[in-house]
């Protein structure tokens, strides 16, 4: 089992493309906060300044991409101090063209800033140490792309599809973008010691084996002792290494993972609450309901009704 794929599948990672831009100076847009999302901007032509409320700024040149994992608000603009207009207002004033190009200004198209803008969404309630460890931003510059051939190839392919009239291109771009998210995690490791630690845990021979056991059979009555025995470690050494690398103890991780799997079943299946409780390792529907409501703020039945 590939633990990372299982995590992203369970958290329901999906890429959504807003639009391609054709912005002529002057322009500046405030992108609002978006919960359960990681926004991205890929510059294909021109330059884009990205400003955050903290005062931090980044400049994107052709070929650069920025990922903003925690969906926080930011400003994209043609210069570092341009007053910004809310995205909602920009969309109201500038209708998207048939090919989903958002145009601002009437300047020289060859000099305009062209970008691909979108976000990665996760299921409401999605949670995992991996998500919590993501840095505030991840930049992929031309230099980092040269160090990451897979990422460079995928971004070049996305760019070609952006300018293609092929009817399958939007779907292809979304699928390729999801691969980009995984590749960007490798870059984010350099900016986040917490993320580096978790990725190390996923790759650690014994810890990854324990994770596979929990992911393959979350309903099994695992204990620290049982897991440690399966990976040929002492109980104390296993618990210490797991906690150090994942930032959370083995039993706390198992509890969180069971609830994430339960969230999928509540959302996407017609199984009874009793059946879901059994499939996710709870002794009774009542115990499961208490744990689920404590994590997600609503009982499984109410949560299911909300998304029906």
Q: What confidence tier does 179 reach under pLDDT thresholds 50, 70, 90?
A: confident
Going by C-alpha positions, the residue among 18, 31, 117 that lies closest to residue 74 is 31
Instruction: Give per-residue pLDDT as tens, 241-289.
Output: 999 999 999 999 999 999 999 999 999 889 999 999 999 999 999 999 9
Token digits for 128? 């995992």
> What percentage of the chain carries pLDDT values higher than 70?
94
CB 139 within 8 A of CB 192: no
pTM of the shown model: 0.86
* Beta strand 74-77 pairing with 28-31: antiparallel
CB 138 within 8 A of CB 187: yes
Instruction: Decide if pLDDT at 167 tops 60.
Output: no
CB 28 within 8 A of CB 16: no
Q: What confidence tier does 168 reach under pLDDT thresholds 50, 70, 90?
A: low
In the predicted model, what is the mean pLDDT of the chain?
A: 90
* Predicted local distance difference test score (pLDDT) of residue 156: 84
* Predicted local distance difference test score (pLDDT) of residue 103: 84
Least confident interval from 43-57, 112-126, 150-164, 280-294: 150-164
How large is the average pLDDT for residues 179-207? 90
Least confident interval from 17-21, 82-86, 126-130, 158-162: 158-162
* Predicted local distance difference test score (pLDDT) of residue 99: 55
Instruction: Give per-residue pLDDT as tens, 23-74.
Output: 999 999 999 999 889 999 999 899 999 999 888 999 999 989 999 988 899 9
Least confident interval from 131-135, 183-187, 273-277: 183-187
Residue 211: φ, ψ to 5°: -65, -40
How large is the average pLDDT for residues 289-293? 97
Instruction: Decide if pLDDT at 135 tops 60.
Output: yes
* Separation CA 19–CA 103 (nearest Å): 10
Instruction: Decide if pLDDT at 299 tops 90.
Output: yes
Set out the domains of the chain in order of their start, with CATH numbers.
Answer: 12-192 (2.60.120.10), 204-306 (1.10.10.60)
* Predicted local distance difference test score (pLDDT) of residue 85: 94
CB 174 within 8 A of CB 17: yes
């Amino acid at each position: 089992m590939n633990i990372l794929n299982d995590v992203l599948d369970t958290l329901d990672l999906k890429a959504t493309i807003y639009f391609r831009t054709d912005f002529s100076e002057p322009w500046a847009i405030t992108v609002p906060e978006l919960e359960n999302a990681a926004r991205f901007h890929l510059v294909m032509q021109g330059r884009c300044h990205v400003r955050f409320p903290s005062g931090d700024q980044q400049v994107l040149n052709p070929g650069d991409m920025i990922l903003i994992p925690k969906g926080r608000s930011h400003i994209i603009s043609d210069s570092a101090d341009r007053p910004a207009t809310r995205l909602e207002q920009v969309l109201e004033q500038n209708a998207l063209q048939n090919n989903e190009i958002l145009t601002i200004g009437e300047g020289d198209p060859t000099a305009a800033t062209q970008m691909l803008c979108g976000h990665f969404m996760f299921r409401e309630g999605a949670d995992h140490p991996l998500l919590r460890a993501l840095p505030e931003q991840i930049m992929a510059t031309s230099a980092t792309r040269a160090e990451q051939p897979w990422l460079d190839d995928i971004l070049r392919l996305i760019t070609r599809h952006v300018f293609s009239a092929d009817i399958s291109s939007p779907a292809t771009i979304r699928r390729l973008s999801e691969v980009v998210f995984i590749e960007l995690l490798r870059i984010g490791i350099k900016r986040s010691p917490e993320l580096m630690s978790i990725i190390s845990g996923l790759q650690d021979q014994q810890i990854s084996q324990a994770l596979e056991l929990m992911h393959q059979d979350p309903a099994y009555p695992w204990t620290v002792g049982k897991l440690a025995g399966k990976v040929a470690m002492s109980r104390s050494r296993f618990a210490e290494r797991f906690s150090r690398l994942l930032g959370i103890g083995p039993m706390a991780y198992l509890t969180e993972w069971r609830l994430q799997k339960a969230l999928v079943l509540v959302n996407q299946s017609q199984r009874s609450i009793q059946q879901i409780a059994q499939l996710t390792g709870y002794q009774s529907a009542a115990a499961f309901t208490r744990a689920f409501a404590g994590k997600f703020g609503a009982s499984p039945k109410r949560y299911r009704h909300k998304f029906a």
